[in-house]
Amino acid sequence: MTITDFLFEIVRKLDPERAHLLTIQALKLGITPRYSNNSDGALISEVFGIKFQNPIGLAAGFDKSAEAFYSLDKLGCGFVEVGTLTLKPQAGNERPRVFRLEEDQAIINRYGFNNDGLSRAVKRLSKRVKSTGVLGINIGINKDSTTPIADYEEALRIVSPLADYITINISSPNTPGLRDLQSSEKLEKLLRSIEKSRFENEVQILTPPILLKIAPDLTEKEIKEIAQIALKTGVSGLIVSNTTVTRPSFIKGNRRSEQGGLSGPPLFELSTKKLAQTYLACKGKIPLIGVGGVDSAETAYAKIRAGANLVQLYTALTYRGPCLFKSINDGLNLLIKNDNFRNVQDAVGIDAKYWADKKILN
């Protein structure tokens, strides 16, 4: 057992929020193993005009306040998405607000966008040096926001000089009213305003690609509407998906009825089906990031074959530990070669129809 495995086992025994805070502190201090972020050229790709050393990224919510980006970047992932960050600092919901469902290797959380706020995060991120990996910044709105569109525009202006890409989060289940922004009328208004605010005198001043993160609980009709709006408003990509408010009948963990968003393996099939539906609705014209229940090379590859150009994970990292990115990338490389693909991007969407129509247990 390595020292990292030993520390990981200790942390895993703590209450999940304390375990997370401790992990962030350790990462801030640089107490972290290092893994290479590229096992083979077959995993390198260019998506949204950005070069990724490998397609497996860390999803939003792990480094909410952009404190540990520099260490996370060394775990062998292809990219790190920090946030969700809001304009003002926010304490989030009352504790306890995150629960492990050990039997299902899953998590339910109702954090409610606890974060240090954009100005502190910006100070941290402005020290970033060019040699670090791809950085996504995920932005949301404060719980008491009465001007969501203006808030997203302002957040976008603030993070644009720092981010390689920006994610507009309208899908977290723990901020009242947030997910209503996914309705076609509100979404079109939001995205049109955002697109307009990126230009001054018809010159684009804010340049990073903008991605939209959506919920797995949308119907196929809603996904089609979102895809159409995304295509006509210049969104660069979609992230499918956030956590689910549904509780599949097969989950066993005794905290299953806690309120909040469910993540991990029980979300895999649902989020992969929604990913494939999004891929077909976008006709492959917008790159997608597939998230939800990825815990192995096989599940990452399934996301890619269902339509994802890139993949993210969070929950599995808390159960499997920091060597996960490397083991997924090594396995993915073999799976791609076994299927005679020269590059990971050649496999994107091959099983989209199968996944979009798949009857899933929920």
Ligand X SMILES: Cc1cc2nc3c(=O)[nH]c(=O)nc-3n(C[C@H](O)[C@H](O)[C@H](O)COP(=O)(O)O)c2cc1C
Token pair listed for 201: 């005198």
- Nearest CA to 122 out of 161, 80, 178, 177 is that of 161
CB closer to ligand X out of 61 and 148: 61
**From residue 232 to residue 251, what is the string marking binding to ligand X with x (rule CB under 6 A)?**
----------xx--------
CB closer to ligand X out of 42 and 98: 98
Token pair listed for 80: 């790190």
* Near ligand X by CB under 6 A: residue from 7, 27, 50, 60: 60
| Stretch touching ligand X by CB under 6 A, among 122-130, 175-183, 262-270, 302-310 | 262-270
The residues in 271-330 that bind ligand X, with binding defined as CB under 6 A, are: 291-294, 313-316
Contact 267, 244 (CB under 8 A): yes
CA distance 73 to 270: 29
CB closer to ligand X out of 45 and 84: 84
CA-based max dimension of the chain = 60
The active-site residue, picked from 65, 71, 172, 241, is: 172
Token pair listed for 279: 């891929």
138 is a contact residue toward ligand X (CB under 6 A): yes
CA distance 64 to 121: 9
Whether 172 is catalytic:
yes
64 is a contact residue toward ligand X (CB under 6 A): yes
The residues in 157-216 that bind ligand X, with binding defined as CB under 6 A, are: 169, 172, 213
The nearest distance, CB 183 to ligand X, in angstroms, is 19
61 is a contact residue toward ligand X (CB under 6 A): yes
The nearest distance, CB 60 to ligand X, in angstroms, is 4
Partnered with residue 80 across adjacent β-strands are 58, 135
* Residues known to be catalytic: 172
Which positions lie near ligand X, rule CB under 6 A?
A: 59-61, 64, 84, 98, 107, 109, 111, 113, 138, 169, 172, 213, 242-243, 263-264, 267, 291-294, 313-316
